[in-house]
A and B are shown apart, each in its own frame.
Chain A
Amino acid sequence: MQSDLCALMKRILLLVFIALTVFGYGQVQSIDPTKINQDTVDLKEVIISATRTERKLTEIPMPFNLVTKKEIQAIGGSRLQDVLTEQKGLTIVPQINGVGNGLQLQGLGADYTMIMMDGEPLIGRYTGTLELSRIALGNIKKIEIVKGPSSSLYGSEALGGVVNIITSRPVTPRILLSSRLSTMGDFDANVELDHVKYKLSNQLFFNFFNSKGFDVDPANYGRTISPYRNFSFRHKLIYQPIEALELSTAIRIFHEVQDNEYQVIVPSDSIKVNGPGKVSDLTFIPQIKYSWKNNTQFYIRANYSRYYTETKLNELSSGNEYYFDQFRQEYFKPEVQSTCRYFKNQNWTAGAGILYESVNTNRYGENVTRSQHTSYLFLQHEWKLNPKVDIITGLRYDDNSVYHSQWSPKFSLLYKPTSRIQIKASFGTGFKAPDFRQLYLNFKNSAAGYSVFGTEVVLDELKKLQTQGLIEDIYISLDQKSTLKPEKSIALNFGMEYDHPRFGNFSIHFFRNDLKGLVEIQTVALLKNRQFIYSYNNIQNAYTEGFEAEWRSKLIRNFQISLSYNYLLAKDKDILNQIKQKQIYGRNPETLESYLITKKDYLGLYGRSPHSGIAKLRYQSKSGKWDASLRCIYRGSYGSAATAGSVSGTLIPSSDRNSNGILDRYDHLVTDYFILNAGYAYQINSNWRISTGVENLANYKDELYIPTLKVRNFFIQIQFEFFKKNKS
């Protein structure tokens, strides 16, 4: 049924594509070619995340996406994942085991992409993933996505790339009110106040979001996504006493409460539980920025962030506490950066900072606060050799108190043989520091029959168990502590872009990431009661490679079209090696026959779709008063996780039907699917704007593997904006 629908949609999409192409040919002759691509890309637009300096869109030597305010508005969403879902080369990985909506970039998991707001990382990666729904879209001006390792500028976490959410800057007095309602029962309200007087500008932003959640399995107690509500508050204060000097502060506060209510599955039973889940975070960023003689810019800023989450579950029948979990993270980072242009066409950027981080959670032992600090330095040289060639070289050094120090170099090249062709190449390394969980976790689950210890505490715990005489067998050396090393990547990106005067912009970008020492769970001991003890180690080696191709154009008057396709191969090198040595077998669960797995049978890492793509069609009326859009997101089939997971008591099976630990052709893949979104917006007058749309128009469902997929959801949004026009 689902695959029939998919096949049908594929056919429709192909027809639309052919029709548009043919129709486009017929139309194109009558249009003045010089006018066609003008507003596809605003040439004055800049990107800051690729180099930490402002660079024009046509001068970025690595693959990137720029999501403009216009596009964010056209999507009509309210949380960050609504926008990121529709970006080429990005996959939003659905929630599983309480790990939220994560981001996959170039085949690298959610832990490996840095997510920032106004250039400062967002914290609160409780289980490695940053929950994207924490971020309200309200006062966001644009989102920059830079692909490929960016550790040479941003350090740990920026292996796959960076996502930088840039908020608007108050330039004129303004009041903005907006509200959004959807049939799923989501309510969203925004207030933005901009105040500019003398040399002082102020921005207040407030968002309230209420979700009723939803349920795909009414037979099960509770809801698949429990209802939650949150508010976000953002304040920005900018004081510019003289043109060259700018003092600013930014404060952000977020608070969320979720009314959890679900069944917990245990081997013998299922237990109905309920209770509140809380998340709150706070960020304070003061900054001084100084520009000197038009060729030197300098800033000093600090980022203080705090994140707290707590989950409390009580048994419904008895009211007794069933589960309690709290996690507190603190982050403090003073940083300086300076950019100078001393020679013609050469830019030097240098920066340094210290990052203090601490975590306190009941999962790392009773009331123990774990902390670490990292000192870092980075240097970057941007050199415009001639009008055709740009070279950027960067290097960063991170020195951490727990793990080994890291050097992260990067070299990028941009070559423009003509003004319409861009050739981009970059080579760099990335790293991800071991997280607190991998270092300090102290998790004993005697009911499930296993324990997990972080690498910094595992030896002490094993020695304790040994003196108690509980250990049957130990698989590691007790004399020497094995320090966890950062996970490393070496990446190569190569691409071309061609801007055809009639047919629009074509681009293709190839990537290859070689990942070394990925942290995996390792068995370290066996207890006399047959329970295993696990810890972590840098075991896994993998690679991801593929390409991203896009065509976007304004072929037909007022129509904008874009098609993108992403091809991805992601494989575990050690598994490939074992296959080579004929050590892995598979079973066909239907015939029950066993086979030796060949290289061809092995499908790669879990959760990676080899094929994915997005088609977007947007129409803007001549008057500019209204616009409409239709977007189709395709995700090819992929393997569900290595083991079964659960979302609010709904079991999500593993794809691995033959239990050989790898994804192979005998396993059951998650069916490929299309999500269709549509939107329509009408600007009534300069103050009022109304927009409406639908998410998941075809109401695609996969209750078994993706229960968190939003059902068809119609929404309406009304916006009121009042501002003084006299400023310029």
Chain B
Amino acid sequence: MKNLILVLFAISLLTSCDDSSESSPGSKSLSVTVQNLPADPPTSFDPTTGQPIGETGKFTFFRLSDSSIVANSDSTTSKWDIAFRANTILINSGSSGPGSAGAFLLDGVYQSISEVPADSSFHIDQAPVYAIGKNWYTYDQAAFVFYPKPGKVLILRTSDQKYAKLEILSYYKNAPTTPNYRTDLARYYTFRYIIQQDGSKKF
């Protein structure tokens, strides 16, 4: 867990939008960039085969409201929002957990998504089909490298009914510009998100 470095870019009190301040009073949003969140990563490469080794098969559970890792023993509670293992992402809903989280992928530039679109419908996990699914990444079959797709933003409803937007930035440790499957350790997520703590759908 030492690899987890939380960078709290800003915990800022923002008036969501000057124009609409009449209808929505002051809002409280949290903006965070998480670097190198381990998602069952390999510990090293086998010196003879070059194969990554040391994976355990366990998910890493995460709570957005205070950007903290939730212990695996709490996986059956509503304490977590989102969980990562390799390229599989779960949300605390349906077949994955008792929570009522929801999520979907939205096309757009992270910064310019200012609210959850009115006509959105949130999905829940129903194994083997998950709310977030596989559409957030591409896999280069020749280089054996995963890339998060640009312009894919996860819109999340957390276990405690708060809304967040989340963008995955890298799947490799220290976010190398051109990941190499033989030297860069996979299953380390770098992502950023904004969670609106007041329950509104505006970021």
B is bound to A: yes
A589:B140 contact, CB within 8 angstroms: no
Q: Mark A97-133, 1 if CB is under 8 A from B, else 0.
A: 0000000000000000000000000000000000000
A585:B150 contact, CB within 8 angstroms: yes
**Contacts A643-B142, A659-B138, A668-B178 given: A595-B109 contact, CB under 8 Å?**
yes
B177:A590 contact, CB within 8 angstroms: yes
A584→B149 CA distance, assembly (Å): 10
Interface centre among B150, B151, B167 (most CB of A within 10 A): B150
User: In chain B, what residue has the closest Cβ to A266?
Assistant: B144
A596:B151 contact, CB within 8 angstroms: yes
The answer, yes or no, to whether A687 is at the interface (CB within 8 Å) is no
- Within 8 Å by CB of A268, from B51, B140, B167, B177, lies B51
**Interface segment out of the listed A67-75, A493-501, A649-657:** A649-657
Q: Mark A655-696, 1 if CB is under 8 A from B, else 0.
A: 001111100000010000000000000000000000000000
A657→B148 CA distance, assembly (Å): 11
Interface size on B, residues (CB 8 A): 28
Interface size on A, residues (CB 8 A): 32
A267→B181 CA distance, assembly (Å): 9
The A interface is mostly helix, strand or loop, or mixed, namely loop
Q: State which residues 480-499 of A face B: CB under 8 Å.
A: none
CB distance from A449 to the nearest CB of B (A): 8
A654→B147 CA distance, assembly (Å): 12
Contacts of A267 in B (CB 8 A): 144, 181
CB distance from A105 to the nearest CB of B (A): 27
A584→B181 CA distance, assembly (Å): 26
A449→B144 CA distance, assembly (Å): 12
A198→B9 CA distance, assembly (Å): 94
Contacts of B170 in A (CB 8 A): 592
A653:B143 contact, CB within 8 angstroms: yes
Q: What total count of A-B pairs have CB within 8 Å?
A: 75
CB distance from B179 to the nearest CB of A (A): 9
**Contacts A267-B144, A270-B50, A659-B138 given: A585-B109 contact, CB under 8 Å?**
yes
The answer, yes or no, to whether A583 is at the interface (CB within 8 Å) is yes
A586:B150 contact, CB within 8 angstroms: yes
- Within 8 Å by CB of B143, from A270, A450, A595, A651, lies A651
The answer, yes or no, to whether B4 is at the interface (CB within 8 Å) is no
A660:B149 contact, CB within 8 angstroms: yes
A448→B141 CA distance, assembly (Å): 8
Contacts of A668 in B (CB 8 A): 177-178
B151:A584 contact, CB within 8 angstroms: yes
User: In chain B, what residue has the closest Cβ to A448?
Assistant: B141
Residues of A within 8 A of B (CB): 265, 267-270, 448-450, 583-587, 589-590, 592, 594-596, 643-646, 651, 653-654, 657-661, 668
Residues of B within 8 A of A (CB): 49-51, 107, 109-110, 137-138, 140-145, 147-152, 167, 169-170, 175, 177-178, 181, 190
Task: Please list the 5 inter-chain residue pairs (A to B) with the smallest Cβ-Cβ separation, ordered nearest first.
Answer: A585-B151, A659-B147, A644-B143, A587-B150, A644-B142
A–B pairs, 19, beta carbons within 8 Å: A265-B144, A269-B49, A270-B50, A585-B107, A585-B150, A585-B152, A594-B151, A596-B109, A596-B151, A643-B140, A643-B143, A644-B142, A644-B145, A646-B142, A659-B138, A659-B140, A659-B147, A659-B149, A659-B150
